[in-house]
Structure 1
Amino acid sequence: MDKNRLEAFSDGVMAIIITIMVLEFKVPHDTSWESLWNLWPVFLSYALSFVFVGLYWSSHHHLFHMAERVNNRILWSNMLGLFFLSFTPFATAWMGENTFNSQTVTLYAVILSLCVVSYLLLVHQLRALHGYDSKFSKTFKGYTKIFITISLNSLAALIAFFGYPRIAFILLILTSLAWFIPNHRYENHITDED
């Protein structure tokens, strides 16, 4: 199977997701700075979701840059990830429009958790296809960061559910920031190729 079609489809879906999120911004009918300031919850929700989708895209890109082939299991694992990711615009808009209400942040954190779980499944399927002793598998072995992310996102969902949505939202921001730390095994592999 051709991995390029999977990558192109995934890139298109993620681009549409970001486009839908930005279209959720409602233009104020007022020209005052205050009317823009009143949009801060919507903007902050959008900013975190933009970063999250961008990080998902970047991780997906690195994964398939290294992958040599795909099979039907990978196609459907990828579709599962895109399915959960496609709920991001809805959860983002609901959370921003309701100024980080408990239920909205809970749902948002659950969706982020499901996205990361599906990414874990995708990585696992790719490692199984390439062989656990392959260069690919050695580059993406160890799921520590993924497990920590799932745990922290799930913790954020619980914190929000029990009435502390802003603390949960801050935890989600900090968790996303951790993904800016590069995978040194991947970086070393890219350097070795040059």
Structure 2
Amino acid sequence: MFWLSLFPFATAWMGENNFAAVPVALYGLVVLLAAIAYFILTRVLIAHHGKDSTLAAAIGRDAKGKISVGIYVIAVVSALIVPWFACLLYVLVTILWLIPDRRIERSLMT
């Protein structure tokens, strides 16, 4: 929750500075750390419920989560060089998560 609380600050700073390199990189760092926190949360929940649980089956290999973290790492580094490209990568991850994920729905049906 801490990383999510920094979104308004990072977003505002990025907008106020016309998407300058450092604010775009900071925004990327905030979303990267939130993504890492989500990844850790899913691993802890799976460990708590067991590797054979419905939750573990629903989450599976969590390709979306791993791909998102990878793209965020690339975006943070590229933000210092080409900020607009980093913003494009942030939008790409957002679109990736807007596509419905049927894993949980499928695992509950079985």
Instruction: Check whether TM > 0.5.
Output: yes
Residue 158 of structure 1 aligns with which residue? 77
Unaligned runs of 5+ in 1: 1-81
Residue 69 of structure 1 aligns with which residue? none
Residue 15 of structure 1 aligns with which residue? none
How is 1:116-131 mapped onto 2 (pairs within 5 angstroms)? 116-131=35-50
Q: For residue 123 of structure 1, what is the amino acid of its counterpart?
A: T
CA contact (8 A) 2:57 2:107 kept: no
Quick check: 1:90 aligned with 2:9? Answer: yes
How is 1:16-165 mapped onto 2 (pairs within 5 angstroms)? 82-162=1-81, 164-165=82-83
CA RMSD of aligned residues (A): 1.3
Q: For residue 113 of structure 1, what is the amino acid of its counterpart?
A: L
Q: For residue 86 of structure 2, what is the amino acid of its counterpart?
A: A
Q: 2:97 aligns with which of 164, 176, 179?
A: 179
Q: By how many angstroms is 1:183 displaced?
A: 2.2
Q: 1:169 aligns with which of 87, 104, 107?
A: 87
CA contact (8 A) 2:3 2:33 kept: yes
CA distance in 2, matches of 1:152, 1:136: 25
CA distance in 1, matches of 2:101, 2:47: 20
Q: For residue 100 of structure 1, what is the amino acid of its counterpart?
A: F
Identity of aligned residues (%): 35
CA distance in 1, matches of 2:105, 2:52: 19
Where 1:166 maps in the other structure, the secondary structure is: helix
Where 2:51 maps in the other structure, the secondary structure is: coil
Q: For residue 83 of structure 2, what is the amino acid of its counterpart?
A: P
Where 2:52 maps in the other structure, the secondary structure is: coil
RCO (CA 8 Å, sep 6+): is it higher in 1 or 2? 2
Q: By how many angstroms is 1:180 displaced?
A: 1.5
CA distance in 2, matches of 1:143, 1:187: 15
Q: For residue 67 of structure 2, what is the amino acid of its counterpart?
A: I
Task: Count the aligned residue pairs.
Answer: 110
Q: By how many angstroms is 1:120 displaced?
A: 0.4
Q: For residue 117 of structure 1, what is the amino acid of its counterpart?
A: I
Unaligned runs of 5+ in 2: none
TM-score (norm 1): 0.54
